[in-house]
């Protein structure tokens, strides 16, 4: 039997292994190799003697370390590129221009970045090869404004969508259709250059055209879908008029909404999903097994209200205790995905901290050692400096006895951050410059 | 690969096997054997030559078929007994008196039943053996009123508790302390007779003293706990004054709140848990495996908001599809427990139907055959004649195209019953006269 302290250490260790597996530089190095004039990308070979220039375009939270690692591999063979990152996320990259821009709400620099990328695309010819390095966050970093739409309009739209409760797929369905870059339009601009998409997914179910609003992937949505999302969240009247009339023109067929999968512009393009929640979970599983824990991965596409999903994870942990199922003790139950929090209070927190606090309440009174960890792979949880928290069967009791904290009260006010600030248990990971959603786990001693 | 129709048939078959495993008569016959003068109960032997009279006391939804089966085994060796059932649940039992009483709100007959049971208990002596057959529902069927408390008071209290959102453990913590029978008090009245408790559990985690408010089991709660529950749900001022003052007298130590586990009255008593959600799940697993499905039981103690738990089950089903985890296809993911529904609309339904409807929405658009079934083991779901529902990936689309039904709208109004009434998919099991909570499953073809 493992003590609570041992389990807490194991949980952090397992989480650390998950994060390591999705480091952008590592993913690039594992998947891209250059031997002489032969480039190997995720097992597929390219003869660089047939290629004139190699460019890179990178957009998203992970774009800087992905680009830096790719430059390290390609060296002088890289002719140039554009790397668009969130403010403060820039890294030194010799052969590419690094542009910092607004996220999650775009700004003028996002427009400048889109224009620079479109310029590069139009310069790239048939004999050129363009790496497109895409990760979550790209939608707001690259904003090619359609005629009549201002950056102010796009900022308003983004703020409305962020506050609406629309999920990332719904948001990006709209953003794809108010753009000269997204929804495959960049692929069209790049044509006839060869394109290799390397992607780190922050989307449940890894729908590739949704990541960074899919600038170089076939568009699987329509103007009608975009209008439907606005209508679903009652945004038709609130959204800027320029955007609504642009979408209406689209519905009437004046624009095609971005190239579909049979469009010739995708003929010379390959796409590789390098990093995802599944990869992080598999690394976590491997580490947990090395630590002697019996492992099971429930799902990499968990969604739902954080506190409810936490209750389900706790009930599985209790089943391990009661009946040695679904795996015998000592056990590690893993899950990944992205939960949501419905705000009822004015507290401070994030979905991972709220998950952990709800789990602590569910674990209270259990006679056996159980630890639950919940953390974001991007290193931050909500608008806080923490990334999540680790709790055990004694967390609530200790908080009550030692600090007079009522965990249920903190949860009801969505104030998980302040609970853990006072009671201890926060995970402080710091920005990881990558994102494959969240990891949750229960360890049973 | 299995078609949707095959999977629907499998799901119903698996659910049927789960129900069969927890039939009260079957559980009694499997666990109680009489060979000459030797009585064997769940592997433990009793020499009936040392026993004068054998009595039975049965209370709960399953009491009539349990008692009938026990009478079938004991025959003339049974001297008498009292069987308390919900109105309409009576069966013919020759050697015991059958009393029908109020459920879920108690009535005068519940008081008469308690008095009859206490009379039998005081008549039973040291050489007698008393079987106590307990199942869910017993709390309201046996009401021994403490001094100063009327049946009207107890009805009011029960209605307040039922509407409060308190869970069954919290409700029974209160009910144990407003009773001359519950919380072990019947065990005290039975002493020094020998007692064999045979139990079918409808409580998450199978805490035995909570089933039927534990009339013959050690009381693990206190008057303070009971007052705390009332206070948690703001019922102190709303509850009948007679009950509050009785509880206050208890807190001051005038009553002991029922015998604890070291009380001598439990010296000659044995307790066997015959049926539980785990047993139903294991039978379901066995049947699913016989049907060629790879099985996993997630938990037998699932709690939480029905639609949220449904989303988690769907996400596990999608993981099976995407990555062959936690088990490869064709698969059956099983879970059991008792979810809750927070009412937002004025629709009609129950937790199992709401679970199924939420699952149908989560499954929509999946390209593969997946079926979800959710049903109550007591055969009824909420205040409806249905027991749950079976859905698949095409349920919402078919309802929309064929019947112009918007599944999301029905779910938002908690109107799952009318959705399935129009779209099809209801499970009609009919009362099973037993209850081990609910079963949910996802089958992936």
Show which residues on chain B lie within 8 Å of chain A, measured between beta carbons.
Answer: 205, 278, 296-305, 308-309, 311-312, 315-316, 318-319, 322-323, 325-326, 337
**pLDDT at residue A149 tops 80:** yes
- Decide: B299 and A319 in contact? Cβ < 8 Å: yes
Q: Which residues of B touch A304 (CB under 8 A)?
A: 308, 311-312, 315
**Residue B167 has what pLDDT?**
84
Answer whether A305 sits within 8 Å of B305, measured CB to CB.
Answer: yes
What phi and psi values does residue A337 have, to the nearest 5 degrees? 145, -155
Please provide the distance, in angstroms rounded to a whole number, between the alpha carbons at the two ends of chain A. Answer: 5
- Decide: A218 and A260 in contact? Cβ < 8 Å: yes
Could you report the per-residue pLDDT of A295-325, keeping only the tens digit for each? 999 999 999 999 999 999 999 999 999 999 9
Q: What angle do CA A184, A187, A191 make, to 5 degrees?
A: 150
**Residue B396 has what pLDDT?**
97
Could you report the per-residue pLDDT of A241-280, keeping only the tens digit for each? 999 999 999 999 877 789 999 999 999 899 999 999 999 9
A25-275 carries CATH number 3.40.50.880: no
The mean pLDDT of chain A is 95
Answer whether A299 sits within 8 Å of B316, measured CB to CB.
Answer: yes
Q: Which residues of A touch B303 (CB under 8 A)?
A: 311, 315
**Residue B328 has what pLDDT?**
96
Q: How far apart are CA B57 and CA B212, in angstroms?
A: 12
Query: How far B318 CA sits from the closest chain A CA (Å)?
Result: 8
Q: Which residues of A touch B165 (CB under 8 A)?
A: none
Chain A residue with Cα closest to B305: A308
Segments of chain B scoring below 50 in pLDDT = none
Among candidates B350, B365, B354, B427, which has minimal Cα distance to B396? B365
Burial (CB count <10 Å: 0-12, 13-18, 19+), residue A153: buried
**Residue B162 has what pLDDT?**
87
Query: How far A287 CA sits from the closest chain B CA (Å)?
Result: 17
Q: How far apart are CA A282 and CA A17, in angstroms?
A: 10
Query: How far B321 CA sits from the closest chain A CA (Å)?
Result: 10
The total of other beta-carbon atoms located within 10 Å of residue B434's CB is 26
**Residue A206 has what pLDDT?**
87
Residues 6+ apart with CB under 8 A from A255: A223, A249
Find the CB nearest B299 among A205, A301, A316. Answer: A316
Show which residues on chain A lie within 8 Å of chain B, measured between beta carbons.
Answer: 205, 278, 296-305, 308-309, 311-312, 315-316, 318-319, 322-323, 325-326, 337
Q: How far apart are CA B440 and CA B445, in angstroms?
A: 17
- The CATH number of domain B4-16+278-444, selected from 3.90.1150.10, 3.40.1480.10, 3.10.20.310, 3.40.50.670: 3.40.1480.10
* More reliable by pLDDT, A30 or A344: A30
Find the CB nearest A326 among B308, B318, B326. Answer: B326
Place of tokens 């049903």: B375
- Decide: B294 and B220 in contact? Cβ < 8 Å: no
Among candidates A133, A146, A122, which has minimal Cα distance to A66? A133
Query: How far A338 CA sits from the closest chain B CA (Å)?
Result: 11
Answer whether B315 sits within 8 Å of A322, measured CB to CB.
Answer: no
**Residue B107 has what pLDDT?**
96
Q: Which residues of B touch A298 (CB under 8 A)?
A: 298, 312, 315-316, 319, 326
**Residue B436 has what pLDDT?**
96
Instruction: For residue B64, give the H/E element and its range.
Output: helix B63-74
**Residue A1 has what pLDDT?**
74
Map out the domains of chain A as residue ranges: 4-16+278-444, 25-275
Find the CB nearest B297 among A278, A298, A326. Answer: A326
**Residue A163 has what pLDDT?**
85
**Residue A157 has what pLDDT?**
96
Q: Which residues of A touch B308 (CB under 8 A)?
A: 304-305, 308-309, 312
Find the CB nearest A301 among B296, B315, B337. Answer: B315
Q: What percent of chain A has pLDDT over 70?
A: 100
Cβ contacts from A onto B, under 8 A: 84
DSSP of B183-231, one letter per residue?
A: TTHHHHHHTTSEEEEEEE--STT--GGGGGG-TTS-----HHHHHHHHH
Find the CB nearest B311 among A278, A303, A316. Answer: A303
**Residue A2 has what pLDDT?**
87
Q: What percent of chain A has pLDDT over 90?
A: 90
Strand ranges across the sheet with B331-337 = B294-302, B331-337, B438-444, B370-376, B388-392, B426-427
Answer whether A315 sits within 8 Å of B297, measured CB to CB.
Answer: no
pTM of the model: 0.89
Could you report the per-residue pLDDT of A317-346, keeping only the tens digit for each? 999 999 999 999 999 999 999 999 988 888
Residues 6+ apart with CB under 8 A from A299: A335, A336, A337, B312, B315, B316, B318, B319
Answer whether A315 sits within 8 Å of B322, measured CB to CB.
Answer: no
Residues 6+ apart with CB under 8 A from B36: none
**Residue B216 has what pLDDT?**
97
Could you report the per-residue pLDDT of A344-381, keeping only the tens digit for each? 888 999 999 999 999 999 999 888 899 999 999 999 99
């Amino acid at each position: 039997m493992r003590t609570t302290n041992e389990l807490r250490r194991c949980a952090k260790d397992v989480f650390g292994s998950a994060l390591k597996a999705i480091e952008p530089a590592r993913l690039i190095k594992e998947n891209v190799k250059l031997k002489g004039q032969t480039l190997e990308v995720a097992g597929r070979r390219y003869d660089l003697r047939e290629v004139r220039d190699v460019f890179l375009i990178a957009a998203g939270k992970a774009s800087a370390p992905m680009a830096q690692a790719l430059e390290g591999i390609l060296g002088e063979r890289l002719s140039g590129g554009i790397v668009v990152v969130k403010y403060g996320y820039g890294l030194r990259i010799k052969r590419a221009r690094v542009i910092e821009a607004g996220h999650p709400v775009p700004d003028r620099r996002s427009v400048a970045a889109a224009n620079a990328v479109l310029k590069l695309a139009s310069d790239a010819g048939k004999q050129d090869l363009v790496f497109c390095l895409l990760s979550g966050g790209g939608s707001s970093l690259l904003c090619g404004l359609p005629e009549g739409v201002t950056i102010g309009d796009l900022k308003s739209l983004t703020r409305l969508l962020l506050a609406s409760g629309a999920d990332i797929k719904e948001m990006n369905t709209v953003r794809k259709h108010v753009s000269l870059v997204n929804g495959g339009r960049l692929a069209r601009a790049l044509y006839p250059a060869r394109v290799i998409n390397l992607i780190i997914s922050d989307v449940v179910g890894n729908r590739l055209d949704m990541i960074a609003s899919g600038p170089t992937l076939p568009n699987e949505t329509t103007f009608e879908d975009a209008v439907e999302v606005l209508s679903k969240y009652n945004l038709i009247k609130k959204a800027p008029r320029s955007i609504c009339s642009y979408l209406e023109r689209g519905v009437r067929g004046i624009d095609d909404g971005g190239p579909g999968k049979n469009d010739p512009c995708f003929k010379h393009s390959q796409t590789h999903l390098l990093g995802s929640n599944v990869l992080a979970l598999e690394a976590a599983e491997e580490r947990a097994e090395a630590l002697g824990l019996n492992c099971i991965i429930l799902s990499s596409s968990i969604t739902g209200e954080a506190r409810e999903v936490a209750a389900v994870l706790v009930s599985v942990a209790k089943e391990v205790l009661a009946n040695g199922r679904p795996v015998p003790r000592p056990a590690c139950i893993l899950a990944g995905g992205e939960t949501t929090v419905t705000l009822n209070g004015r507290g401070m927190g994030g979905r991972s901290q709220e998950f952990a606090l709800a789990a602590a309440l569910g674990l209270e009174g259990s006679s056996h050692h159980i630890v639950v960890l919940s953390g974001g792979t991007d290193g931050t949880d909500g608008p806080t400096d923490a990334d999540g928290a680790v709790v055990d069967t004694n967390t609530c009791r200790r908080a009550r006895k030692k600090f007079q904290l009522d965990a249920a009260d903190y949860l009801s006010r969505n104030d998980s951050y302040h609970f853990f600030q006072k009671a201890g248990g926060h995970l402080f990971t710091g920005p990881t410059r990558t994102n494959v959603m969240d990891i949750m786990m229960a360890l049973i001693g």
